[in-house]
Structure 1
Amino acid sequence: MRWRPRGSSPAATTNGRIWRPIERKIHEPPRHQDTKCHQETVLGAPWCLGVLAARGPVLSAGTFTLDGRAIPFEEGQTILDAAAAAGVDIPHLCHLPGLAPHGSCKLCTVSIGGRLGAACTNRAAAGMTVESETAELNAHRLTLVQMLFVEGNHFCPSCEKSGACRLQETARRLGMTTPHFTHFFPARDLDASHPDVVLERNRCILCELCVRASRDVDGKNVFAIGGRGIRARLIVNSASGRLADTALSANDRAVDVCPTGAILRKRVGFAVPIGRRPYDRHDIALSLPTRRGEGAGGG
């Protein structure tokens, strides 16, 4: 999802409140790529989940304040990566350590000294004051997530990525229970032509992680974004437009980076039981009542 020019569309509403983030100037300094950032693996998909492995002795360039907490950072490190290294997860969908920052989902928007900016593209600086967990910013994030859910077909209970989906976890974290906007019900093609990988475009949120991973890591340039606005789609770079006619391999990095269930390996669905998935908070059996209305652990 991308910001539109001011005045191009009505402001989105949530809970009777109008949010107009496009009316503020967002300061974004030059982007950079941190190719040395360690990646934590979740079901084969690397994610920066708030705890990054140490990379040896590195001198801190200073500290900045994030929601009242002092966060150390290295020279050239972004606010998002520095926060993650300190164990603080700023909501995001289009960022992955090792890939060039993109700044497209805008979920990581924070207040930097009173100005809005994407935490994944703004570099940390000594003494800066950053706010992330505010009512206004979380209302903005909730609106964006609500829009992502209705722009695609996301049926979490039956999805193979349920419990390991970054979009699902972000919605839960922001308190989303039901969609706020009218569903678009897009008619996007499903591509199951590849022997090992399936592409379900109805779950794609256009984060371009697979585009960047295929181009910058795999060196194959399998994916791209075609169309504009609501007609934007993930496309396949082949003469036929089908995955089967590309050099994509099931072992490619591009197959592992999707934050939703748009790109999946075949024959490995629902491999991890409930309670052990990356975003499961506790065993579901502990929270379900018995037929008599008593807790599962009750007598």
Structure 2
Amino acid sequence: MDAVTFRFTVDGMEVQATEGQSVIQACDAAGIYIPRLCHHPDLEPAGNCRVCTCNINGRNGAACVTPAVHGMVVESNTPQLTGDRRAIIEMLFVEGDHPCPYCVASGDCELQALGYRLGMVAPAQPYQQPGRKIDATHPDIYLDHDRCILCSRCIRASRMEDGKTVFGFEGRGIKMRLNVDAQGGLGETQMAAIDKAASVCPVGCIVIKRGSYRIPNGSRRFDKSPIGSDIEAKRTSRKS
């Protein structure tokens, strides 16, 4: 049986969707990029970061967890939403420690790339400089907790893709942080470098040892193309 299709609009553009798709999935397929951080196409959506928040039928909602519905009206690219997203990115920068010029993830970091795309110049809030520890107990992976943005990608990947429970959150509010299921650190868990959880981090928190500079600066994902350009290229190819 063929899947049921329908249409809705995003910023005045008509989008075709399939029953069961979320707003962000339908927009990705149509070549319309909605900024996001916690969302990953291979993982169940969580709606944690709120960067993908859009105005949907007059009310704000996260595009990654909102089902697409026939006739819905979505606004994404507005000054208000861009400002809200930029404020979220700024808060993530000041709540952690993100030294972009010398970070191993520079050029491949989605937080950094979103800062560029959204026009972030300098955060208005003071840096908190939390000074969290680096966990280097694993032979192949290290965790830099200062760069974690609490997106939960690694948690979802470990549980749903790897069949493990390596990661979780502890604490609440500003004191929330990523933890592992072993008192001795990551080295005492079942984590492996080939796990899905090791490859989905959007920033420089989960890093594979001895592989950080195999792709040199200047040749990484976002060094030459803005974040989201791969999605927007789908719309360009349809027009040509």
Common fold by TM > 0.5: yes
Q: Deviations over 1:98-135 (max 9, x none)?
A: 32211110000000111111000001111111000000
1:76 maps to: 20
- Aligned to 1:70, what secondary structure does the other structure show? strand
1:204 maps to: 148
Q: Superposed, which structure 2 residues align to 1:1-299 within 5 Å?
A: 59=3, 61-240=5-184, 242-281=185-224
How far did 1:158 drift? 0.4
Partners of 2:151 and 2:160 in 1: how far apart?
15
How far did 1:96 drift? 1.0
Hey, which of these two has a bigger chunk of helix by percent?
2
- The count of aligned residue pairs is 225
CA contact (8 A) 1:58 1:74 kept: no
Partners of 2:36 and 2:197 in 1: how far apart?
18
Change (3 A) 1:60 1:166: farther
Partners of 2:26 and 2:110 in 1: how far apart?
20
Q: Deviations over 1:205-252 (max 9, x none)?
A: 000100111011111100000011111110010133x01101100000
Partners of 1:220 and 1:69 in 2: how far apart?
42
- Aligned to 1:144, what secondary structure does the other structure show? helix
Amino acid at match of 1:269: S
CA contact (8 A) 1:94 1:102 kept: yes
- Aligned to 1:80, what secondary structure does the other structure show? helix
- Aligned to 2:149, what secondary structure does the other structure show? coil
RMSD: 1.4
- Aligned to 1:199, what secondary structure does the other structure show? strand
Partners of 1:157 and 1:271 in 2: how far apart?
17
CA contact (8 A) 1:109 1:118 kept: yes
CA contact (8 A) 1:198 1:266 kept: yes
Amino acid at match of 1:183: Y
Partners of 2:175 and 2:53 in 1: how far apart?
25
Structure whose alpha-carbon radius of gyration is higher = 1
2:238 maps to: none
CA contact (8 A) 1:60 1:72 kept: no
Amino acid at match of 1:221: T
Amino acid at match of 1:281: K
Amino acid at match of 1:193: T
Partners of 1:88 and 1:60 in 2: how far apart?
21
CA contact (8 A) 2:45 2:65 kept: yes
Partners of 1:225 and 1:59 in 2: how far apart?
38
TM-score (norm 1): 0.73
Partners of 2:66 and 2:174 in 1: how far apart?
28
Partners of 1:250 and 1:58 in 2: how far apart?
39
Partners of 1:58 and 1:78 in 2: how far apart?
18
Change (3 A) 1:275 1:59: farther
Query: Whose relative contact order is higher, 1 or 2, with alpha carbons under 8 Å and at least 6 apart?
Result: 2
